[in-house]
């Protein structure tokens, strides 16, 4: 009898323990499910915010370097992604280059001009970079059990605007030929890059943007101003338009020359695209004004060089993008001239001498040598009709 009673009690205790374990398992599973739901809500919120920051940064970058318009476009685009009216946002603070807005339940900080290590390594001027960061307070359900009511979720994105030819005023692609500047008062209004050394001699040379150097910077003389940053080798910026398109335009206009040199004088300076295969282009004159694109491509083992000499002339790229393409090099010599458009020498050097020049350009070549006095280089955002935006962070 006692044995039977003891066995009955043991079975009851076992059933009771099983019930307790079952309840504990159910509680743990429910907590895990609640945690998964909570984590999913936070992850979804951050993913959405990251997408909206990406899109807003790209929208703002398209309006750079106009900082006011870029911030407005980024804020409007963020509001639109939230399903709000594009103008439904409120500025809540402004600190330096950063303006913070209330958009829906999100707090969105937009910064331009913007600069960090990534922007500097790319040689991008801060005026052509924008950063959008957003934060949101997400209410927690499970967290309330631990006394945590909300959690802050945040996301950031950085975008840049790259003008046709890249964001550099001067880009020295060679790893064996330095970028050399001599003379006096050469002003570079923007960023400079050399995949080798930088050599500066003379007086009063200055670059307003970052000068990124792979090798060494040797600066002698007086009154120079360069913000030198050492970086790794950078890829050469590519042309936004293919040479094939330029060749077709030249052929349609009867200005495709194959297998011979092309000489330009005061009397026959062309308009539009001139495309020379297997020959060189030389031009000489005074006080002329043309919209032109000169292209010399090496073929048959010869050609591909452009040489322009003269004074008081103005040359503008026929398409507002490419002015000179010298496969094997470009030489410019003279005084008081104005140049508007990209100068591109993928397999040669660019040499510039003289005084009183004004360049609104991007010079991209294997090597660059400037021996000049009172010369100014800038990208000229109003000149280039083609550009692109991209995310960098």
Per-residue pLDDT of the chain (393 residues; tens, 9 = 90+): 555 555 555 555 565 566 666 566 665 555 555 565 666 677 787 888 888 899 899 889 888 878 898 999 999 989 988 888 878 889 999 999 999 999 998 999 999 999 998 888 777 878 889 999 999 888 766 655 555 567 788 899 999 987 655 568 999 999 999 999 999 999 998 889 999 999 999 999 999 888 989 999 999 999 999 999 898 888 888 777 789 999 999 999 999 999 999 999 988 889 999 999 999 999 998 888 889 999 999 998 899 999 999 999 999 998 888 999 999 999 999 999 999 989 999 999 999 999 999 998 889 999 999 999 999 998 754 444 445 778 887
> Distance between CA 38 and CA 115 in Å, rounded?
36
- Contacts of 115 by beta carbon, 8 Å cutoff, 6+ apart: 126, 129
> Distance between CA 224 and CA 347 in Å, rounded?
30
Comparing C-alpha atoms, which of 333, 370, 368, 376 is closest to residue 354?
Answer: 333
DSSP label of 253: T
Comparing C-alpha atoms, which of 296, 288, 283 is closest to residue 316?
Answer: 288
Domain parsing of the chain, residue ranges: 2-163, 168-387
Comparing C-alpha atoms, which of 126, 133, 183 is closest to residue 154?
Answer: 133
Under 8 Å between Cβ of 179 and 194: yes
For residue 264, what are the β-bridge partners?
Answer: 283
Verify cis geometry, omega within 30 degrees of 0, for the bond prior to 65.
yes
What are the structure tokens assigned to 135, written together? Answer: 């934060």
Under 8 Å between Cβ of 348 and 368: no
For residue 146, what are the β-bridge partners?
Answer: none
pTM given for the model: 0.63
């Amino acid at each position: 009898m006692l044995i039977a009673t003891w066995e009955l009690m043991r079975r009851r205790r076992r059933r009771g323990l099983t019930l307790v374990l079952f309840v504990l398992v159910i509680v743990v599973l429910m907590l895990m499910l609640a945690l998964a739901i909570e984590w999913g809500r936070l992850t979804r919120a951050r993913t959405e915010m990251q997408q909206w920051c990406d899109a807003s940064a790209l929208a703002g970058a398209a309006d750079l370097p106009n900082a006011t318009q870029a911030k407005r476009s980024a804020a409007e685009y963020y509001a639109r992604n939230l399903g709000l009216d594009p103008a439904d946002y409120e500025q809540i603070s402004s600190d330096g280059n950063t303006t913070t807005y209330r958009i829906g339940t999100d707090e969105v900080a937009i910064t331009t001009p913007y600069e960090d290590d990534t922007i500097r390594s790319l040689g991008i001027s801060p005026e052509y970079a924008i950063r959008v960061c957003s934060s949101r307070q997400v209410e927690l359900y499970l967290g309330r059990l631990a006394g945590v009511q909300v959690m802050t979720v945040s996301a950031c994105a950085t975008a840049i605007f790259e003008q046709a030819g890249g964001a550099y005023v001067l880009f020295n692609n060679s790893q064996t030929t330095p970028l050399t500047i001599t003379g006096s008062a050469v002003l570079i209004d923007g960023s400079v890059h050399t995949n080798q050394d930088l050599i500066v001699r003379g007086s009063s040379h200055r670059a307003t943007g970052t000068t990124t150097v792979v090798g060494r910077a040797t600066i002698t003389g007086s009154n120079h101003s360069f913000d030198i940053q050492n970086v790794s080798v950078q890829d050469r910026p590519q042309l936004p338009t293919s040479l094939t398109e330029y060749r077709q335009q030249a052929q349609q206009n009867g200005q495709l020359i194959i297998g011979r040199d092309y000489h330009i004088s005061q009397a026959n300076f062309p308009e539009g695209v001139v495309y020379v295969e297997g020959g060189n282009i030389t031009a000489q004159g005074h006080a002329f004004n043309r919209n032109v694109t000169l292209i010399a491509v090496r073929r048959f083992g010869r050609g591909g060089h452009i040489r322009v000499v003269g004074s008081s002339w103005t040359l503008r790229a026929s398409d507002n993008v490419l002015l000179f393409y010298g496969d094997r090099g470009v030489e410019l010599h003279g005084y008081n001239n104005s140049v508007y458009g990209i100068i591109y020498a993928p397999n040669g050097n660019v040499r510039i001498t003289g005084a009183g020049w004004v360049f609104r350009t991007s010079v991209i070549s294997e090597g660059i040598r400037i021996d000049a006095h009172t010369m100014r280089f800038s990208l000229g955002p109003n000149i280039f009709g083609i550009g692109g935006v991209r995310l960098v962070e």
